[in-house]
Amino acid sequence: MLSIKNLDVRVEQKEILKGFNLQINPGEIHAIMGPNGTGKSTLASVLAGKNEYEVTGGEISYLGKDLLEMSPDERAREGVFLAFQYPVEIPGVSTTNFMKAAVNAKRKHLGLDPMDAKTFLQLLNEKRAIVELSREFTSRSLNEGFSGGEKKRNEIFQMAMLEPKLAILDETDSGLDIDALRIVANGVNQLRNKDNAFLVITHYQRLLNYIVPDFVHVMYGGRIVKSGGKELALQLEERGYDWIKEEVASLA
Amino acid sequence: METIEQQFKNTPTTQLDKVRVEAFNAFEKLGIPTSRVEAWKYTNIKTKLSKDFILTPLESEVNTAVKNYIASLPPYAFRLVFLNGIFHQELSIIPEIEGLYITNLKEAFANKSSNIEQYFGKAVNYNEEHFAALNTAFVTDGAFIHVSKNVAIEEPIYLHYFFTATDADAFVQTRNLVVVEDGASLQIAEDFRNASNITVQYNHVTESFIGKNAQLTLVKLQVETKNVKGIHSLEALLQRDSTFNASTITFEGNVIRNNITAQLLGENAHADLSGLYFGKENASIDNNILVKHLAPNCTSNQLYKGVMNDESVGSFSGKIFVDQIAQKTNAFQSSKGLLLSNEASINNRPNLEIFADDVKCSHGAAIGQLDENALFYLQARGIPFELAKQLLTYAFVHEVAERIQAKPLRQFICDKLKEELKLNW
């Protein structure tokens, strides 16, 4: 589904990703862990198409297409979804209207007519229930005045609405209390199936108790330096990252 | 011009004529302002208007554009239609309601209806305001609306002003006079549009008198104004416990100038003035607000938002004047601008003049561009860039539309905004 080869990325002349490689197949959940400043969020932003990142080398192929050639909105309509680390507050646009615009943009892309009001409302209510968001939330301005947990639940709600093929969760668990974490993880687990894939970026092993990954990767210095199964996350939790750094240093 | 001048040199016989002669004499002294006049700093109106404008009324033949627009309107309860300043009874709907008197100014002058002499020219300062003076002297026609004591009119009254330039030098003078007596309430929508493809010039004045505990909501719509040079003066006198709600919505525009003055004359009066303007191409849209707190315990609010595209220039000058006796005044002002191109600009000029010591006054001004992070967020959900821009622009301006308390008018404005921004939800 997603194939990243030798990706080099710069931000303002600073090299963040250096020869990054990753292969994700349908039905898989990949977790990326690693210390601060190793380029995890940069990876998420590059995949979603944020324009301040300069790709200086390598390639990203998504469903056989060159992802880097696509605009952020094209990527989203093709099924790429980024759950933001810091969801943006947009006063004046309700979550409902925002989702209506997004759902219909995708439908238009697929050659379908806009969804009728009744079907849309049903869909909205159904997906809202997955992340336990009240009706009031969807009629309020997007993320405005939402708590951290509500914002993250709103991200998962949007993901449920748009049913992406590849969902990237950028530190969705950071700062969440255990209830919110459970709700978010629950949402992801309900959505996972054999045709979609998840890339979960996290600092903490805790999330992976709820969302069980098929692969755990450790990122350091702009690339993946170690990969393993879910047990790797437990190891990291226990031993921290110093042993990884030492391993990398000894190889250099 | 000659004959009109002549007309005013004759000895005035009625009170009305007296006012008009005074205004004429004032205009002779004032003339058309240059940009050296402080209040006209941002709009060099003298260079924008035709040099030798003419004031004689134009033909008023109803064209297809007018017909089509009228036909497209929902079945409003009340509607008055003016074309080139001339009243069209056949296009208007004026049901008879007890306690509500509506007619055109000409008719009201002729009949001296509802003591019109008591009001005409009493809210505008024609001795100092150039265009108010010109209008007072040369007004063609307009609406006269009088609501009697304690009468609440639920349905808005729509006043449609169409212009078709049959002469490029024509300068049409239109005017409304609104009297809301004690305890009464009224909603008005003034809709101005160019019904031709060539440039039109007009000068409109609305005088409003709001009695004790009365309420007036006025929405001014300036749409289809691509070739319009329009000058608007809105004057409101508020008695105690009254409320004045005015919203000015401007789309496009060539040269649009809005003067608004609200005078809070009695205790506990409240004025809420808001505006939205969208500039395109080389439009110049200039809002000039003055709120005068002349009694204690009054409140006022100004909220203006501008969205400027291309090379358009927006201006906001807002002044809050608080008289020495106007203690416990609460007065706020906010002006925000959104620039959608590098060549567009907005001039913000707040001005507070406070002579009382126990007041709360504040002003805020901000000009910026669309938030890149917000744009990316919308795009990351599949919303195309152009639509994302429109959504965020709507989000920026919707606050002003939400302020309109009268629901039918609020809906009307929201629909217009969505239409303008090509949003279909």
Distance of alpha carbon A188 from alpha carbon A168, whole angstroms:
11
CA angle at B276 for the pair B207 and A146, rounded to the nearest 5°: 130
With beta carbons less than 8 A apart as the criterion, state whether A31 and A202 touch.
yes
Q: Which two tokens stand for residue A63?
A: 């469903």
Whether residue B6 has pLDDT greater than 70 = no
Q: Do residue A105 and residue B382 have CB atoms under 8 angstroms apart?
A: yes
Report which of B248, B290, B251, B213 is spatially closest to residue B403, judged by C-alpha positions. B248
CA distance B269 to chain A (A): 29
Q: Do residue A100 and residue B382 have CB atoms under 8 angstroms apart?
A: no
Region of residue A247 (phi > 0: left; psi between -120 and 50: alpha; otherwise: beta): alpha
CA distance B384 to chain A (A): 6
- Mean pLDDT of the B287-308 span: 97
Q: Considering only the beta carbons, identify the residue of A73, A87, A141 that sits closest to B382.
A: A73
Chosen from A88, A120, A146, A166 to mutate, greatest number of chain B CBs within 10 A:
A88
What is the predicted pLDDT for the residue at B2?
44
Q: Do residue A105 and residue B392 have CB atoms under 8 angstroms apart?
A: no
- Mean pLDDT of the A6-32 span: 94
Chain A residues within an 8 Å CB radius of B376:
48, 50-51, 72, 88
Whether residue B5 has pLDDT greater than 70 = no
- Parallel, antiparallel or unpaired: strands A141-142 and A90-94: antiparallel
With beta carbons less than 8 A apart as the criterion, state whether A184 and A172 touch.
yes
- Mean pLDDT of the B257-285 span: 95
What is the predicted pLDDT for the residue at B404?
81
What is the predicted pLDDT for the residue at A190?
92
User: pLDDT tens for residues B336-357?
Assistant: 999 999 999 999 999 999 999 9
Distance of alpha carbon A66 from alpha carbon A60, whole angstroms:
6
CA distance A252 to chain B (A): 38
CA distance A18 to chain B (A): 25
Query: Lowest mean pLDDT: which of A201-205, B29-33, B112-116?
Result: B112-116
Sign of the dihedral defined by the CA atoms of residues B128, B129, B131, B137, in that order: negative
Q: Which residues of A touch B (CB under 8 A)?
A: 48-51, 71-73, 76-77, 81-82, 84, 87-88, 90-93, 97-102, 105-106, 109, 141, 158, 162
Pick from A23-27, B51-55, B191-195 the range whose average pLDDT is largest.
A23-27
Chain A residues within an 8 Å CB radius of B392:
90, 93
With beta carbons less than 8 A apart as the criterion, state whether A222 and A17 touch.
yes
Q: Considering only the beta carbons, identify the residue of B371, B379, B391 that sits closest to A72.
A: B379
Distance of alpha carbon A174 from alpha carbon A165, whole angstroms:
23
Q: Considering only the beta carbons, identify the residue of A77, A88, A91 that sits closest to B377.
A: A88
- Parallel, antiparallel or unpaired: strands B78-83 and B86-87: antiparallel
Of all residues in chain A, what percent carry a pLDDT higher than 70? 100
Whether residue B13 has pLDDT greater than 80 = no
What is the predicted pLDDT for the residue at B1?
43
Whether residue B3 has pLDDT greater than 60 = no
CA distance A90 to chain B (A): 7
Q: How many CB atoms lie within 10 A of CB B198?
A: 12
Q: Which residues of B touch A (CB under 8 A)?
A: 371, 373-374, 376-385, 387-388, 391-392, 394-399, 425
Q: How many CB atoms lie within 10 A of CB B10?
A: 9
pLDDT confidence bin for B422, thresholds 50/70/90:
confident
Helices B372-379, A95-109: axis angle to 10 degrees equals 50
3-state secondary structure A96-149: HHHHHHHHHHHHHHCCCCCCCHHHHHHHHHHHHHHCCCCHHHHHCEECCCCCHH
User: pLDDT tens for residues A36-87?
Assistant: 889 999 999 999 999 889 999 999 999 999 999 999 999 999 999 999 999 9
Chain B residues within an 8 Å CB radius of A90:
374, 377-378, 392, 395
User: pLDDT tens for residues A179-198?
Assistant: 888 998 998 999 999 999 99
Rounded to the nearest integer, the mean pLDDT of chain B is: 91
With beta carbons less than 8 A apart as the criterion, state whether B339 and B368 touch.
yes
CA distance A50 to chain B (A): 7
CA distance B423 to chain A (A): 9
pLDDT confidence bin for B420, thresholds 50/70/90:
confident
Chosen from A51, A52, A73 to mutate, greatest number of chain B CBs within 10 A:
A73
With beta carbons less than 8 A apart as the criterion, state whether A33 and A234 touch.
no
In three-state secondary structure terms, B147 is: strand
User: pLDDT tens for residues A224-235?
Assistant: 999 999 999 988
Kindly calculate the radius of gyration of chain B based on its CA atoms and give it in whole angstroms: 21
Sign of the dihedral defined by the CA atoms of residues A80, A81, A86, A92, in that order: positive
**Least CA distance to A83: which residue of chain B?**
B380
Q: Considering only the beta carbons, identify the residue of A72, A93, A106 that sits closest to B376.
A: A72
B207-238 exposure pattern, b = at least 16 Cβ within 10 A, e = fewer: bbbbbbbbbbbbbbbbbbbebbbbbbbbbbbb
Of all residues in chain B, what percent carry a pLDDT higher than 70? 96
What is the predicted pLDDT for the residue at B285?
95
Q: Do residue B387 and residue A50 have CB atoms under 8 angstroms apart?
A: no
The DSSP call for residue B50 is -
CA distance B257 to chain A (A): 28
Chosen from B377, B389, B400 to mutate, greatest number of chain A CBs within 10 A:
B377
pLDDT confidence bin for B410, thresholds 50/70/90:
confident
Whether residue B10 has pLDDT greater than 70 = no
With beta carbons less than 8 A apart as the criterion, state whether B268 and B328 touch.
no
Whether residue B126 has pLDDT greater than 80 = yes
ipTM, interface predicted TM-score of the complex = 0.95
- Mean pLDDT of the B413-423 span: 79
Whether residue B87 has pLDDT greater than 60 = yes
Largest pairwise CA distance in chain A: 61
With beta carbons less than 8 A apart as the criterion, state whether A156 and A216 touch.
no
Q: How far is CA B371 from CA A41, A89, A155, B340, B407, in A?
A: 20, 11, 19, 11, 30
Side chain identity at residue A37, one-letter code: G
Whether residue A115 has pLDDT greater than 60 = yes
Of all residues in chain B, what percent carry a pLDDT higher than 90? 72
Report which of A170, A158, A180, A126 is spatially closest to residue A32, judged by C-alpha positions. A170
- End-to-end CA, chain A: 32
Q: Tell me the whole-structure pTM to 2 decimals.
A: 0.84
Q: Does domain A2-251 have CATH number 3.40.50.300?
A: yes
Give the domain ranges of chain B: 2-309
Whether residue B188 has pLDDT greater than 90 = yes
The DSSP call for residue B143 is E
Chain B residues within an 8 Å CB radius of A87:
377
Whether residue A30 has pLDDT greater than 90 = yes
Distance of alpha carbon B334 from alpha carbon B362, whole angstroms:
8
- Mean pLDDT of the A167-188 span: 90
